[in-house]
Structure 1
Amino acid sequence: MESLKIATFNINGIRARRSNLLEWLEREQPDVVCLQELKAQDADFPIDDIRAAGYGAIWQGQKSWNGVAILAKGGDPLEIRRGLPGAPDDTHSRYLEAAAHGVIVACLYLPNGNPQPGPKFEYKLAWFQRFIEHAAGLFESGHPVVLAGDYNVVPTDEDIYNPRSWTKDALLQPESRECFERLLAQGWTDALRAKYPDERIYTFWDYFRQHWQKNSGLRIDHLLLSADLAPRLVDAGVDRWVRDQEHASDHAPTWITLRGEAAEKPSKPVKRSKARTAAKK
């Protein structure tokens, strides 16, 4: 494989936007896809359509909200973990981890945290802390790893059209940004920002006040690369045309392309959790 394209896409309801997803897969042909906010139970995941498009998948659904999935072109991803360690009573479907095309891919849907202050914001920070702790182990493992998903964090004021309109939002709070900075401090590379250090690039435009038409966006979907993958970054971008489709998600797919060395199998064996490792049928 000469190159490897990995994408993250908050689909915002896979049943309502199944045709949007399938059109995007056919047109852009990513090798690995992380989906968030399925808003569907496991039985409602459109696995037959996805397999017909040439992809295998693992997923963890949830009725009406949350839900994550990892797709891989040409075969099923090898599941490593579902759910973060450290909170066995947490029933939210927000994290999947798998090996696909020689890379470990973590798919995450970080809590929104609104309204803040309050219990939802406290949950956001607690979840973020657990993710930071787990990510440290992934980084230190020596495997090629991508942390891809909807982080529900605007890292800096350069990642939003107008921070003054969002000063009370959980996505811009100092605590949220500090968590993101602590994650990067482990050594991860923010791929989109590394490729475009001086440009305003957005991945999310909400449905209000013609924010899409006015390009009033936020950058909250991120792909972070481990130390060995960062030098292999070739390109990165946002498939804005998907946001312009009828019945579109308020997010657009965000992607990276890696040089072919990233497609080699990890040199160390992957420690697999006790969670199910077979893709759902």
Structure 2
Amino acid sequence: MIGSPFAPSLVIDPTGKTEMSNLATNLLNTASRYPCHPAVRWNQRSWTYMDLEEHSSHIAGGLLAHGVRPGDRVAIVVDDVPAFAALYYGALRVGAVAVLLDPELGPETIRHRVEVAGAHVVFAAEEGYGPLAPVVGASNGLCVPVGPAFMEQVVFWPRCPTLVRRQGDEPAVVLWPSTAPAGGGDAQSLELGHRTLRTAALRAVSDILVLSPGDTLLTTMPIHGLVGQTCGLNATVLAGAGFVQIDSADSNGVTMEIHRSRGRMGVTAPAAVSRGGKSSSGRGRRRRSQANVPQRAGSVAG
């Protein structure tokens, strides 16, 4: 395990009285413990955990105002990492199911998957908004463009500081492959529950990545993919670490780096992760290196 700075106790609601299974409690717990720690960074924008928690509460309030209720599907078709994280945890806070789609799939595949998912609300990058809006509108849904000024508008949405209680086996996320199959048809989606995602994140934090509060994970993994969830956003939020997505062109062929927080002289290198999202056997080897030296896992799939 990763020691005393990280204590994955039972997640609780903001009142501290009721045990909760909602995956979004990881964010509330971490924001309470490490409000000023960097949470997500993308391009020139960086948010602390306090920022991310506040933005996600405004997203949740906006969804409630638009009639989204527990179990409804909310599609997220954006690459902007801070906006994605706020939308993701905002949807989970109200008990909605986050349908995660790669904006690079193309309008036809995205439209099909939105229809199959039955999304009530779709948040789409501005460049992909046009083809989606009529389809979503025809089913009495709402399509919201996510552009550079989107998060500036979100601060005026109502805030929802609480969480909706969810059972561990209730769905939290719907994932699809990041590629469209050839020859017509489409791949099957993967539905993951709150307990499954939290357990996978805990294992990633303690056994694969060995993350501690203040560490920073830099990765080329798509945030909306399976590995990007289990060994990416969910894991870093659970640990109180930072998540930074970088362009593969700037990665020198390395798909994951972990910059350790100050004072960690004995650093455990992460085990390699395969394309299926499973770790290699055993824990990483103990390395004697100075703090902040990047630890690389070159075989992690993007």
Decide: shared fold, TM above 0.5. no
Smaller-chain TM-score range?
under 0.3
TM-score, normalised via structure 2 length: 0.25
- Which gives a bigger RCO, structure 1 or 2 (Cα 8 Å, sep 6+)? 1
Larger radius of gyration: 2
Greater fraction strand:
1
TM-score, normalised via structure 1 length: 0.27
